[in-house]
Amino acid sequence: MDLLSPEKQQARKQWNATPCGTGNHLAGVEPGSLAFFEAVRRSRYERTDPWMPRTIPFEAARGKRVLEIGYGLGTDLVSFALAGAAEVCGIDITEEHHRLARRNFELHELPCTLKLCDAASIDFSSETFDIVYSHGVLHHTPDTVRCVSEAYRVLKPGGQLILSLYHTYSLYHLVTMVMVEGVLRGKLRRLGYRGLMATVEHGADGVHTKPLVKTYSKRQLRQILGDFHQVHFKVAHLTSDQLPWPGRLIPSPVLRALEPYLGWYLIAFATK
């Protein structure tokens, strides 16, 4: 782990201090308890990312071997296990994620294999998994292409990569971050684009805590996934609270209609 690049060290610093899924919604809940993990799960699937249960095919894991790249607190990996996966494994570079995710699985009395491991060099044999899943992780690494190649290597022939990255052509990126936060509020001038984008992560200030944050278009991601023989995309996650004040007046039906085009997440489903 000491050989991590500066960008990955920043990512590890960010999520050791502020593990994924934590925040004010956990006030008063005992950290590391079953109630803690259930509160994280409810917040993720019911409040912040309600698109996930209808977009991510957790049920497709039944009887299959699943690897998650960047498991965080283990919320999604637990969902794959509860959906009947034959085996669930995960890799992450963050020690606090590793500690908490192991506790999550212990409390749910579910078996798993979790490793502290860099996605650029996955510590599993080739052609091991039916599904490799990664949500909101590989846009934080400088070697995304290498990580995708590793995901391809450990997939069985016919296996599927489910990869979710930040979407360049999203309202949140173009309007909220670049135009409002960046230009109107002067953060582009003070922090630069990289510092500005770091602030999308809870707890990051773009100066002292500055995780790498990249965005991708469908064209860029299709090129990265060039070794896969079949690729299709979905775009998801567009809510009024992602937008500056006037945008919060947009009716929910309009936002739902725009979401498949202008959502914050670009999700690729790629078959080896």
- Mean pLDDT within 110-139: 97
Domain-located, residue 207: yes
Strand partners for 264: none
* CA gap 77, 97 in Å, rounded: 13
Kindly report the pTM of this predicted structure: 0.95
Domain-located, residue 143: yes
What percentage of residues in the chain have a pLDDT greater than 70? 99
CATH code of the domain covering residue 87: 3.40.50.150
Residue 2's pLDDT is 53
Residue 148 burial (C-beta neighbours within 10 Å; 0-12, 13-18, 19+): buried
Nearest to 67 by CA among 46, 83, 81: 81
pLDDT over 90 (residue 172): yes
- Structurally, the chain folds into a number of domains equal to 1
Residue 4's pLDDT is 81
Question: What does the pLDDT look like over 223-268, one tens digit per residue?
Answer: 999 999 999 999 999 999 999 988 888 999 999 999 999 999 999 9
How many Cβ atoms are within 10 Å of 123's Cβ, its own excluded?
A: 12
- Mean pLDDT within 174-194: 97
Mean pLDDT of the chain: 95
Domain-located, residue 18: yes
* Residue with tokens 């990255």, as numbered in its chain: 165
- Mean pLDDT within 207-213: 94
Residue 22's pLDDT is 87
Domain-located, residue 152: yes
Question: What does the pLDDT look like over 22-49, one tens digit per residue?
Answer: 888 888 899 999 999 999 999 999 999 9
Residue 175's pLDDT is 96
Residue 9 burial (C-beta neighbours within 10 Å; 0-12, 13-18, 19+): middle
**pLDDT higher at 4 or 170:** 170
> Who contacts 174 (Cβ-Cβ below 8 Å, separation ≥6)?
168
Ramachandran area for residue 248 (φ above 0: left; ψ -120 to 50: alpha; else beta): alpha
Tokens of 23: 């925040």
> The domain containing residue 14 runs over which residues?
6-271
Domain-located, residue 1: no
* CA gap 200, 215 in Å, rounded: 12
Residue 3 confidence class, pLDDT cut points 50, 70, 90: low
Kindly report the three-state secondary structure assignment for every residue of the chain.
Answer: CCCCCHHHHHHHHHHHHCCCCCCHHHCCCCCCCHHHHHHHHHHHHHHHCCCHHHHCCHHHHECCEEEEECCCCCHHHHHHHHCCECEEEEEECCHHHHHHHHHHHHHHCCCCEEEECCCCCCCCCCCCEEEEEEECCHHHCCCHHHHHHHHHHHEEEEEEEEEEEEECCCHHHHHHHHHHHHHHCCHHHHHHHHHHHHCCCCCCCCCCCCCCCCCECHHHHHHHCCCCCEEEEEEECCCHHHCCHHHHHCCHHHHHHHHHHHCCEEEEEEEC
Question: What does the pLDDT look like over 80-98, one tens digit per residue?
Answer: 999 999 999 999 999 999 9
Domain-located, residue 200: yes
pLDDT over 80 (residue 221): yes
- Mean pLDDT within 131-140: 97
Domain-located, residue 34: yes
pLDDT over 60 (residue 115): yes
Of 2-6, 146-150, 213-217, 232-236, where does mean pLDDT reach its minimum? 2-6
Cβ proximity of 66 and 89 under 8 Å: yes
